[in-house]
A and B are shown apart, each in its own frame.
Chain A
Amino acid sequence: MIRMQPLRRFGELRLLVLVALLLVTGFVAVVATELASFAPVQPVVPLLFIALAVALHLFLVTIGFRGDQLLLPLMLALTAIGLIEVERLASNLLLQQLSWCVVAAGVFVVAILVPRDLSVLARYKYTWALLGIALLLSPLLPGLGREINGARIWIGVGFAQFQPSEAVKVLLVIFFASYLDEYREVLTMKRLGPLPLPPVPYLLPIILMWGMAMVVMVFEKDLGATLIFFGIFLAMLYLATGQTSYTLLGALLLFGGAYLAYRSFGHVAVRVDTWLEPFAGDTRFSSGYQLVQGLFALGNAGLLGAGLGGGLPERIPVVWSDFVFDAFTEETGFLGGAALLALYLVLVFRGMIIALRAPTTFLQLLAGGLSFIIAFQTLVIVGGNARLIPLTGVTLPFIAYGGSSLVANFLIVALLLRVSDVTARVRGPA
């Protein structure tokens, strides 16, 4: 990356002022409702976050960054809503979440500065693939892996824990982007009737990655990550080849595999049965309790909601990590919930435009895949919370409590910004 003269980013700054106001207002609303349990640390957290936002903005200005001005405010607005919700739902975790914001911002800065040229990512594609596989399997190692709430998806060193599948998502997109960029002609060449018939050796690495995703489901019992991995795999295959038949075939494989999993694994069957009939018999007091409480929260929302701090979202178990969307919607109403989804829409749309504008195929696939992660993850968790699809353990990007997810999502936005920066430099001042 070439250092250039500092460039004023007024568009970004204007939006960041709104983010700061939004955060302060939200905190005031939540804290005012529970004045009895007021702690002096509460007003400090939003101020520190605003300082962090300003620091990131000034950092981009000083290095003469030419990339997009919309992504950073969007990312920080969603993170700010996340802080408000953590304060509302689990205020004892607030400082921890703020520290994760600082760590994520650090990763963001490194990702903006370090790869001098993004094509480095493409050059070491097999390194990324191997690293991804190693990370994916690491929770299965005795001593390192930890099982929390029935899913063995964590690695822990001392008291710090990390969910490697979050990092694997990003590595998977980088690997697929570079691999498909190199071999996409081969993959679209031969056909057998309506089906494309690519030479098998070229498909092997892809199938290997897919097999790894299946391992996650069987041995680590992580439905959410499996769904995300498979979604990334299908979406990027479609982005690179434009073949609808691949996507259809993949969707068939997914439904077939899901049905087999439903029949053979107890933890999958429970999820599906709970989804189909959460109110049936004892389900609503046992496995369906969380979902039913979430549905009551949504039903309680109305147009304006109960007001931030005024609802009863704490009646949903583990609400701060699994059901933040329901909690937010209960207290801000249909208007708030719709606005939240619209924020994700703008973020993903912006990412897709960056992908369309990118100068090389690799960068296009990279930006497209990264935007897809955010879109698909939001769809899967909000759909799960609203009982549109079975509930899976996916985090609501930027908002749900959790460090690994926050760091990975900041990294995704940093990479999208890098792609838009390359585009802006190639095209010259627009």
Chain B
Amino acid sequence: MEVTFAVLLWGVRIAFLVLLYLFLIRAFAALWRAMRVEEAVAAKPTGLAFLVVQKSHSGGPRSGARLPLRALTSIGRDAGNDVVVNDDAASSKHALVSFRDGEWWVEDAGSTNGTVVNGTRITAAERLHYGDEILIGRVAMRLEQ
């Protein structure tokens, strides 16, 4: 009787270690899978959405180009911007496009000539829908998925 209890007890103790490792292996596997997905995502250069250039001019981004947007994208003439609009009428820091709580928003970053959405110059942050057109300097871009 004594022996059986000791054997049982060791069985439980070993079972604890086995479960611990089972959990660890599952957790490692989940981590591994997540990293695989991460590599796949990093491999293809996609944005959350795109600004598709509708109208441009020589020196600016070419018409039809799909510029990828991140959660926060700065637009302007300066090379440090995420989307560079090489146009004399654009300011060096012109506008900010952001994705907040599932909605796209655009706001002017204090530009000289202003940011125009669907033909109206904006004064405050403006909600963007897919298909809306932004005019920065002389470059027109449309928000697409």
Contacts and interface: CB of A to CB of B under 8 A. Distances in A.
Contact of A117 (B24, B38, B101): B101
A359 B71 contact: yes
Nearest to A77: B23
Contact of A353 (B8, B26, B35, B100): B35
A426 B38 contact: no
B101 A2 contact: yes
B102 interface: yes
Interface stretch (A24-32, A53-61, A216-224, A279-287): A24-32
Contact of A22 (B19, B41, B99): B19
Nearest to A116: B101
Interface of B: 8-10, 12-17, 19-24, 26-28, 30-31, 34-35, 37-38, 41, 48, 70-72, 99-102
Interface in A7-24: 11, 14-15, 18-19, 21-22
Contacts of A428: 48
A346 B13 contact: no
A349 B102 CA distance: 28
Interface string A306-343: 01111000000000000000000000110110010011
A33 B12 CA distance: 11
Contacts of B28: 342, 346
A356 to B, nearest CB: 8
B30 A25 contact: no
B37 A22 contact: no
Interface in A226-264: none
B24 A346 contact: yes
Nearest to B20: A339
By DSSP majority rule, is chain A's interface helix, strand, loop, or mixed?
A: helix
A346 B72 CA distance: 30
A91 interface: no
Contact of A349 (B20, B31, B72): B31
A350 interface: yes
Contact of A332 (B9, B16, B31, B101): B16
A365 to B, nearest CB: 14
Contacts of B35: 353
Contacts of A42: none
Interface stretch (A66-74, A105-113, A133-141, A375-383): A66-74
Interface residues of A, number: 46
Contacts of A22: 16, 19-20, 23
12 contacts: A2-B102, A11-B30, A18-B22, A32-B9, A307-B13, A332-B16, A332-B20, A339-B17, A343-B27, A353-B35, A425-B101, A428-B48
A307 B48 CA distance: 52
B48 A15 contact: no
Nearest to B12: A29
B23 to A, nearest CB: 4
Given A1-B101, A425-B102, A428-B48, 8 more contacts: A15-B30, A18-B19, A18-B26, A32-B8, A304-B17, A339-B20, A342-B24, A346-B31
Contacts of A332: 16-17, 20
Interface centre among B21, B23, B34, B102, by most chain A C-beta atoms within 10 angstroms, is B23
A25 B22 CA distance: 13
A152 interface: no
A18 B25 CA distance: 11
Interface centre among B15, B17, B28, B38, by most chain A C-beta atoms within 10 angstroms, is B17
A32 B72 contact: no
Contacts of B12: 25, 28-29, 32, 308
Nearest to B8: A32
A387 interface: no
A335 B9 contact: no
A70 to B, nearest CB: 5
Given A26-B16, A332-B16, A359-B71, A339 B24 contact: yes
Contact of B16 (A15, A19, A29, A356): A29
B26 to A, nearest CB: 6
A28 B14 CA distance: 12
A273 B18 CA distance: 40
A321 B14 CA distance: 25
Contacts of B9: 29, 32-33, 307, 309
Nearest to B37: A430
B12 to A, nearest CB: 5
Contacts of A74: 27
A296 to B, nearest CB: 21
A15 B17 CA distance: 16
Given A343-B27, A360-B72, A70 B15 contact: no
A427 interface: yes
A200 B13 CA distance: 59
Interface centre among A18, A304, A425, A428, by most chain B C-beta atoms within 10 angstroms, is A18
